[in-house]
Amino acid sequence: MSDRVLTHLLGERAGFLDRLSDFVAYPSVSADTTYADGMDAAQQWLMRRLSALGFGNVDLLSAGGQSAVAAEWIGAPGAPTILVYGHYDVQPPDPMEKWDSPPFSLTERGSRLYARGVSDDKAPSLIAIETLGAFLAVEGQLPVNVKFLFEGEEEIGSASLRGILEKYRAELDADAMLSADGARWRPDLPTLATSCRGNAGFEFSVRTAAKDLHSGRYGGVVPNALHVMATLIASLYQPDGRIAVADFFDGVKDPTPEQRSILAEIPFDENATAQALEAVPVGEPGFTWLERNWLRPSLDVNGMWGGYTGLGSKTVIPNEAFTKITMRLVPGQDPDACVVAVYKHLQAHCPASATLTFGAKRGSSRAYSLLDNHPLLLAAEETLRSTTGRLPLRVGIGATLPVASIMAETLGIETVMFSYSTADEDYHAPNEFFRLSSIDEGFTGWDDLLRRLGQQSPDTYIPFRRKRSPINLGSSS
């Protein structure tokens, strides 16, 4: 192969690992303000690297929340303009004690790199940055116009991303978005995700007395906030696993026979997958694993706590209990309406002996579905076919990339998820990792795709541009 850009990239692998090591060392945890310094440091590092590679207009874009990092190169008149997306924020490292190596220190073991955020989304983002930078270094130009947007709130529901896109609509305008986030489904099969579920979430608490009470002095006569909380959580599900919340399924369509048959043809071993997780599959009766995960909504308690949780025992009747809850939504569901439905359910089931309080609401996002014949999707399919030798399967994502629906609603453009992370890389759990082999795969894929897009006319994208929605920072119509 005479691709000098790719040769340059593959020769620079040690340098890439050094830079990735620097990037993951900044604890850019957006969920917890005690990591504010880590967020700042990751932003600054990213801006320095983008400048060093020759990109212009390197800047912080803010709409009240965590700033996004932007940069661009727009020297390819007549070629499409591609918005390249990633995120520099990461999940919290807790529980710290379950990590086999420090979460913010890049550690190579076997054929894997371990660190918080290495898979979601620092290595995939950096692969995109370095590949595009290599074009500038080797060829002095890029095949397409590129705008970068790295957000800092992906892990907390992209609360102010919509505001950023509205505020910087002109600066970020593009023909389509190519996302370095949105993991590949699995390592053994080339796939392209054409849909993802939406999400919503909130915290709530119950209170049953002015203070914790002694379990001897008051046991049997006053309510216990943890008993109430347990009853409320249990009430959210029917015994068969179906979500029991009235109105939650409003707008949800049953899968069509076509959808079901497409999913049934995807090679997938439910039992082997469950065994690897040491989990017994559960869920809504009448659906397969893939149907449940890609086409049906879910509702999960992410954290619950109350009373004494330290060592030993403390004989209190807790007066407060707390829960964090999130849901994954499918087309037809409105995130705000779903939050209201769950909350109304909790209110209806809360006994008179407890006070229910609605706490912080997460940023939310509708489900997203990409149009079948979008030119960026077709190009990405060709790239994967060419670089892997196999036609990629079109699959769904059970998780949420809020950016896709927000982009469609604000900039009116579609998103193709083209990350080189893989969904088994424990990216919301301890010992998050990234496969070493994905680095070269990523360089190769981005190089190939950029060259293909350089052959397209921007006009190809016009029929796929959506009418932008009016500015709306809350729900969307």
Minimum distance from residue 160 beta carbon to a copy of itself (Å): 14
201 interacts with a copy of itself by CB under 8 A:
yes
Minimum distance from residue 331 beta carbon to a copy of itself (Å): 15
459 interacts with a copy of itself by CB under 8 A:
no
Chosen residue from 205, 215, 369, 387 binding a copy of itself by CB under 8 A: 215
Which CB, 223 or 445, lies closer to a copy of itself? 223
36 interacts with a copy of itself by CB under 8 A:
no
Which CB, 289 or 343, lies closer to a copy of itself? 289
272 interacts with a copy of itself by CB under 8 A:
no
**Contact region with a copy of itself (CB under 8 A), list: 3-11, 41-49, 57-65, 89-97:** 89-97
Chosen residue from 49, 122, 184, 296 binding a copy of itself by CB under 8 A: 296
Is the CB of residue 366 less than 8 Å from the CB of residue 327?
A: no
- The pair of three-digit structure tokens given for residue 451, joined into one six-digit string: 């060259």
186 interacts with a copy of itself by CB under 8 A:
no
Chosen residue from 57, 259, 353, 469 binding a copy of itself by CB under 8 A: 353
Minimum distance from residue 327 beta carbon to a copy of itself (Å): 8
Sign of CA dihedral 10, 13, 15, 20: positive
Total residues at the site for a copy of itself (CB under 8 A)? 101
Chosen residue from 37, 240, 247, 300 binding a copy of itself by CB under 8 A: 300
205 interacts with a copy of itself by CB under 8 A:
no
117 interacts with a copy of itself by CB under 8 A:
no
298 interacts with a copy of itself by CB under 8 A:
yes
Cβ partners under 8 Å of residue 109, min gap 6: 100, 101
Chosen residue from 52, 246, 429, 473 binding a copy of itself by CB under 8 A: 429
356 interacts with a copy of itself by CB under 8 A:
no
CA distances from 273 to 5, 161, 193 (A): 38, 34, 19
What CA–CA distance (Å, rounded) separates 354 from 325?
A: 19
**Contact region with a copy of itself (CB under 8 A), list: 31-39, 64-72, 382-390, 403-411:** 31-39
Minimum distance from residue 217 beta carbon to a copy of itself (Å): 5
248 interacts with a copy of itself by CB under 8 A:
no
Q: At what angle do helices 13-25 and 4-11 cross, to 10 degrees?
A: 60
Is the CB of residue 163 less than 8 Å from the CB of residue 472?
A: no
Chosen residue from 1, 14, 170, 311 binding a copy of itself by CB under 8 A: 311
Minimum distance from residue 399 beta carbon to a copy of itself (Å): 2
30 interacts with a copy of itself by CB under 8 A:
yes
Chosen residue from 277, 348, 471, 473 binding a copy of itself by CB under 8 A: 277
Chosen residue from 3, 32, 59, 171 binding a copy of itself by CB under 8 A: 32
Minimum distance from residue 291 beta carbon to a copy of itself (Å): 9
DSSP state of 87: E
Which CB, 215 or 469, lies closer to a copy of itself? 215
DSSP codes of every residue in 135-179: HHHHHSS-SSEEEEEEES-GGGT-TTHHHHHHHTHHHH--SEEEE
Cβ partners under 8 Å of residue 48, min gap 6: none
| Backbone angles phi and psi of 355, in degrees to 5 | -110, 125
**Contact region with a copy of itself (CB under 8 A), list: 1-9, 47-55, 105-113, 199-207:** 199-207
CA distances from 291 to 297, 376, 477 (A): 10, 26, 26
Angle at CA of residue 443, ends 176 and 441, nearest 5°: 105
231 interacts with a copy of itself by CB under 8 A:
yes
| Backbone angles phi and psi of 365, in degrees to 5 | -155, 140
156 interacts with a copy of itself by CB under 8 A:
yes
Please give the residues from 360 up to 399 whose contact with a copy of itself meets the rule CB under 8 A.
Answer: 360, 362, 397-399
**Contact region with a copy of itself (CB under 8 A), list: 9-17, 315-323, 372-380, 413-421:** 315-323
Within a 13 Å sphere around the CA of 14, how many CA atoms are in the beta-carbon half? Answer: 1
SS3 state at 11: helix
| Backbone angles phi and psi of 112, in degrees to 5 | -130, 150
Chosen residue from 54, 412, 430, 458 binding a copy of itself by CB under 8 A: 430
Which CB, 4 or 314, lies closer to a copy of itself? 314
Is the CB of residue 453 less than 8 Å from the CB of residue 176?
A: no
Is the CB of residue 107 less than 8 Å from the CB of residue 101?
A: yes
Chosen residue from 10, 21, 54, 92 binding a copy of itself by CB under 8 A: 92
144 phi-psi bin (left φ>0, alpha ψ -120 to 50, beta other)? beta
Cβ partners under 8 Å of residue 139, min gap 6: 4, 5
